């Protein structure tokens, strides 16, 4: 269980971006997070992954604090994969940064062997996003924060990415928080949904689609 307790986050002395935010994400659970732009969805995602410290409150994973060193058990996948990789590195180096994914999994994510020796900057956004998602699935990772990861993809590629991720997450009982503006997508993927609005987090009405 990934738990956030009474989180509050403020930039310097400005009024807090959000406060009293509590959230639970179980192993193997898919939960949505929606909200207007600027509401703090990405910031909340970063706090949950331990990329940033909340002003108050805490994040616990199975009752423990997030580890400071080593591989993070909660991985944050940002919207722009270009910002998450070193553009000068080769694809293989990026992909193998955390672990060596088996070939079957590379195939499931549609990563072609001939990409491996190319520099990262020669790939398209969609191709790079798949590499970033697969990189984040290292053994030891238990939760994923998927922050608008499929907005730049065409419908078929988007579907294939989510199908590959869903299959792998089910196999390993990963908990996934899907941040998206797309209510229909959240309906397809998630069992329940939170909504961030006016600096507070609510459990939102959710229509799960079959």
Partner 1 sequence: MLRIEQLSLALPYYPRFWRRRFATHLDQLSFSVTAGSVHAVVGASGAGKSLLAHAIMGLLPKDAQLSGSCFFKQTLLDEPRKRALRGRELALIPQSLSALDPLARSQHQVNWAARRAGLPPSPARQAASQALAHYQLDERARRAYPHELSGGMARRVLTAMAHVAQASLVIADEPTIGLDPAQRSRVLDALAALALQGKAVMLITHDLRHALSIADRVTVMREGRCVESADASAFQGTGQMLESAYARALWQALPDNAFNVDTEYAEESRFA
- Contacting positions for partner 1 (CB under 8 A): 36-37, 79-80, 109-110, 124-127, 130, 151-160, 181-182, 184-185, 187-188, 209
Residue 98 near residue 118 (C-beta atoms within 8 A):
no
**Nearest-approach distance from CB 204 to partner 1, in angstroms:** 16
Please give the DSSP secondary-structure letter assigned to residue 119: B
> What is the DSSP code string of 32-91?
EEEE-TTSSHHHHHHHHHTSS--SEEEEEETTEEPPSSSS-SEEEE-S-GGGGS-TTSBH
Closest to partner 1 by CB, 58 or 188: 188
**Nearest-approach distance from CB 183 to partner 1, in angstroms:** 9
Closest to partner 1 by CB, 68 or 156: 156
Q: Is the dihedral of CA 99, 102, 107, 113 positive or negative?
A: positive
**Nearest-approach distance from CB 185 to partner 1, in angstroms:** 4
**Nearest-approach distance from CB 198 to partner 1, in angstroms:** 17
Closest to partner 1 by CB, 1 or 204: 204
Closest to partner 1 by CB, 35 or 54: 35
């Amino acid at each position: 269980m990934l738990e956030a307790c009474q989180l509050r986050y403020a930039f310097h002395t400005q009024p807090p971006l959000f406060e009293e935010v509590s959230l639970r994400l179980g192993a193997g659970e898919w939960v949505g997070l929606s909200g207007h732009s600027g509401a703090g969805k990405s910031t909340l995602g970063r706090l949950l992954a331990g990329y940033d410290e909340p002003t108050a409150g805490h994040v616990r994973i199975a009752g423990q604090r997030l580890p400071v060193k080593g591989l993070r058990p909660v991985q944050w996948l940002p919207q722009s994969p270009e910002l998450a990789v070193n553009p000068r590195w080769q694809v293989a180096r990026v992909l193998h940064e955390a672990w060596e994914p088996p070939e079957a999994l590379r195939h499931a994510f549609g990563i072609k062997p001939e990409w491996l020796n190319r520099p990262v900057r020669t790939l398209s956004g969609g191709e790079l996003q798949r590499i970033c998602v697969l990189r984040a699935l290292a053994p030891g990772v238990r939760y994923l924060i998927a922050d608008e990861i499929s907005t730049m993809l065409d419908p078929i590629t988007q579907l294939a990415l989510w199908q590959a991720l869903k299959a792998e997450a089910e196999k390993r009982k990963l908990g996934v928080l899907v941040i998206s503006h797309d209510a229909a997508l959240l309906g397809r993927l998630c069992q329940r949904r939170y909504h961030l609005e006016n600096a507070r987090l609510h459990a939102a009405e959710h229509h799960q689609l079959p």
